[in-house]
Every structure is written in structure tokens, then in C-alpha cells.
């Protein structure tokens, strides 16, 4: 475009020069030609300046675009690095979760073993207590009105052997020790019916509750233990009956009732083995 304009100017200048040389052009023609030439030169300079401005703008925009592209590439690279790091962290978390699951399964297995051992220990502990209480059968009879004492093997008239109530009670307890809970329960019930107010009656009532407990009839056991507490409040089986009531409620899932009973045992019988067991059980209840 600039070359064409220059050619036109040169051509116009040659014509003007030729006109001057030949004398054909007037002064007015010369001024007109000069004016046209100045105008075209000014227009050309303006276009050149505009083109230079446009070129500078394009160069600036091009530089900005290059910088923006570089920034985008950098961000993409950073995002790629971040994604790689996130993937590694997720992989580590998955590994940690799998390990925790394995540990939980192992702990649950051990907890099951511990629970079984504790149940066996509780049963053994109570059986020991039962045997100790049962030894009371062999004590000598209280003195009679005449001040004489009678052994369990010989009566006043010299006849030997246990009394009927001792025999029935001992027979029922032997069945209980052998694990024949239904038969033992029936015999203890017969004993209480025949001898409701003897020194063995409270114990017999307690064993009825125990038979139901080891048959896993916990609701019936609770009711039989309650008879021990209400009917024989002065007997030595009351703390044990309360404790076994609490354990029966635990077996039924009634933690609130169990906690209340265990707390009462600690309060009313603080220095007994039943209170120690109650404290341990309270710590286990959540």
C-alpha cells in the first residue's frame, strides 16, 4: 500500500516538474498540485502512524497471550502434581482403613474369648459360694429345752441319720450340682412347700432362682430371687439374690434396672464379695 502511494507521488512530482519545464502550468495549478501532494503526504504519514500503533498493540496482545498460555500450562502442571499427591494420600488412607478393619476383627474375636472366660469365671465363683453356703447343712443342731445338744447323725433317742428336711434339701442340691436344673427346681419347690420357715428355706428359694438362671429363663429367675428378698429378708442369700437379679436384667438387656440394683448392693452391702462383683459389672456397663 505504501509503495503504491509513493509511486503516485513520484508520478505527480514528475508531471509537475514536466509542466514547469514546458511552461504550460500556471501558478494556480502549481499551488493546487502542491496542496494535493501535501494532503496525500499527511494522509500517508497518518496511516503509517496508525499502522505502527496497531503493530505495537498486536505485539503487546501477543505477549499477553503468550504469558497467559504459559500461566495456564504452569497451572496444569501444578494440578497434575496435586492430583498425583492426592492419589497417593488416598491410597495410604485405603491401606490404613483396611488395617483398622483387620484390627477390629481381631479385637472382636479376642473380646468374644474374654467374654466366654468371664462367664465361666462367674459361674465357677458362684458355685464356690454355693458350696460354702451348703456346708451349713452339716452344723450341729441348736441345744434343746433341756440344754442337751444333738448331733446331725444321732437324735435324742439315739437313732442315727439325717432329718427329713435335711435329706430332701440335700437331695435337691445334689441334683442342682449335677446340672439337672429342672428336677432340682421341682425338689426345692417341694421342700419349701413342706418346710416354708426352716433355716434352709431361704437357701432353697435361692436355688430355685439359680435353676431358672442357668436355664436362661431370666425373667422367671428374677421373680424367684425377689421371693428370697421379700420372704427371707434376714437370710444370708439376700445379697446374692440381689446380685443375680442385676445379672439377669443385664442378660435381658435392661441396663437401667441392672445398674440400679448393683448400686444398691454396693450401698447396702459394701464389704461383701457381691459388692465387689457389682462394682466390676458397673464398670462394664456403658
Torsion of CA 272, 276, 277, 281, to 10 degrees: 140
What pLDDT, on the 0 to 100 scale, is given for residue 153? Answer: 40
* Residue 110 maps to a domain: no
d(CA 177, CA 160): 26
* Helix 218-231 with 238-251: angle, nearest 10 deg: 160
pLDDT, residue 234, reads 92
Give residue 187's pLDDT.
Answer: 96
Within this chain, do residues 92 and 180 fall inside the same structural domain, yes or no? no
Beta-ladder partners of 160: 154
Q: Can you give the pLDDT at residue 198?
A: 94
Identify whether residues 264 and 173 lie together within a single domain: yes
Instruction: Return the CATH number at 265.
Output: 1.25.40.10
pLDDT of the chain, 286 residues: tens digit per residue: 555 655 666 666 676 655 555 555 566 665 665 677 678 677 767 777 777 787 788 788 777 877 776 777 777 677 667 667 777 777 777 777 778 877 877 777 776 677 677 666 655 655 555 454 444 333 333 333 333 333 334 334 433 446 789 999 999 999 999 999 999 999 999 999 999 999 999 999 999 999 999 999 999 999 999 999 999 999 999 999 999 999 999 999 999 999 999 999 999 999 999 999 999 999 998 7
Q: Exposure of 150 by Cβ count < 10 A (0-12 exposed, 13-18 middle, 19+ buried)?
A: middle
| CB-CB contact of 244 with 220 (8 Å) | no
Q: Tell me, what's the pLDDT at 147?
A: 33
Nearest to 278 by CA among 233, 246, 252: 246
Q: Which residue has the cell 469365671?
A: 121
Supply the pTM of this predicted model.
Answer: 0.47
Enumerate residues 6+ apart whose C-beta is below 8 A from 94: none
User: Which residue, 76, 96, 116, sits at the end of a domain?
Assistant: 96
Q: What is residue 184's three-state secondary structure?
A: helix
Q: Look at residue 142 in the predicted model and tell me its pLDDT.
A: 36
Give the pLDDT of residue 23: 53
Residue-level pLDDT at 138: 36
Domain boundary residue, one of 96, 131, 149 = 96
Q: Which domain holds residue 46?
A: 2-96
- Give the total number of structural domains in the chain: 2
Q: Is residue 240 a contact partner of residue 203, using CB atoms and an 8 Å limit?
A: no
Shared domain for 202 and 283, answered yes or no, is yes
Grid cell at residue 19: 509542466
Identify whether the C-beta of residue 40 lies closer than 8 Å to the C-beta of residue 5: yes
151 inside domain: no
Does residue 91 sit in the same domain as residue 206? Answer: no
pLDDT value of residue 105 = 77
User: What is the pLDDT at residue 9?
Assistant: 63
Contact 75, 67 (CB under 8 A): no
Provide the pLDDT for residue 132: 45
Rg (C-alpha) for the chain, rounded Å, is 56
Q: Among 81, 96, 111, identify where a domain stops.
A: 96
- Rounded to the nearest angstrom, the gap between the alpha carbon of residue 156 and the centroid of all alpha carbons in its chain is 70
> What are the Cα distances from residue 69, in Å, to 73, 80, 101, 155, 192?
6, 16, 48, 117, 100
Please state, in angstroms and rounded to a whole number, the distance separating the CA atoms of residues 165 and 186: 15
Amino acid at each position: 500500500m505504501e509503495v503504491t502511494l509513493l509511486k503516485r507521488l513520484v508520478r505527480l512530482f514528475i508531471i509537475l516538474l514536466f509542466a514547469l519545464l514546458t511552461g504550460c502550468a500556471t501558478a494556480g495549478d502549481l499551488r493546487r498540485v502542491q496542496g494535493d501532494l501535501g494532503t496525500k503526504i499527511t494522509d500517508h504519514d497518518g496511516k503509517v502512524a496508525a499502522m505502527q500503533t496497531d503493530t505495537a498493540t498486536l505485539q503487546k496482545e501477543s505477549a499477553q497471550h503468550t504469558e497467559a498460555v504459559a500461566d495456564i500450562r504452569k497451572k496444569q502442571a501444578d494440578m497434575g502434581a496435586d492430583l498425583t499427591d492426592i492419589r497417593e494420600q488416598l491410597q495410604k488412607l485405603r491401606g490404613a482403613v483396611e488395617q483398622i478393619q483387620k484390627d477390629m476383627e481381631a479385637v472382636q474375636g479376642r473380646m468374644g474369648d474374654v467374654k466366654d472366660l468371664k462367664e465361666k469365671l462367674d459361674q465357677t465363683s458362684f458355685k464356690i459360694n454355693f458350696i460354702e453356703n451348703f456346708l451349713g447343712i452339716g452344723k450341729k443342731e441348736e441345744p434343746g429345752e433341756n440344754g442337751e445338744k444333738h448331733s446331725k447323725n444321732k437324735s435324742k433317742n439315739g437313732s442315727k441319720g439325717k432329718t427329713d428336711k435335711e435329706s430332701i434339701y440335700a437331695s435337691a442340691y445334689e441334683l442342682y450340682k449335677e446340672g439337672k436344673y429342672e428336677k432340682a427346681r421341682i425338689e426345692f419347690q417341694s421342700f419349701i412347700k413342706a418346710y416354708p420357715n426352716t433355716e434352709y428355706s431361704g437357701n432353697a428359694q435361692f436355688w430355685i432362682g439359680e435353676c431358672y438362671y442357668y436355664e436362661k429363663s431370666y425373667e422367671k429367675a428374677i421373680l424367684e430371687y425377689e421371693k428370697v428378698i421379700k420372704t427371707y429378708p434376714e437370710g444370708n442369700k439376700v445379697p446374692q439374690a440381689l446380685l443375680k437379679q442385676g445379672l439377669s436384667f443385664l442378660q435381658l438387656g435392661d441396663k437401667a434396672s441392672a445398674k440400679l440394683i448393683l448400686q444398691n448392693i454396693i450401698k447396702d452391702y459394701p464389704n461383701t464379695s457381691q459388692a465387689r462383683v457389682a462394682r466390676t459389672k458397673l464398670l462394664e456397663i456403658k
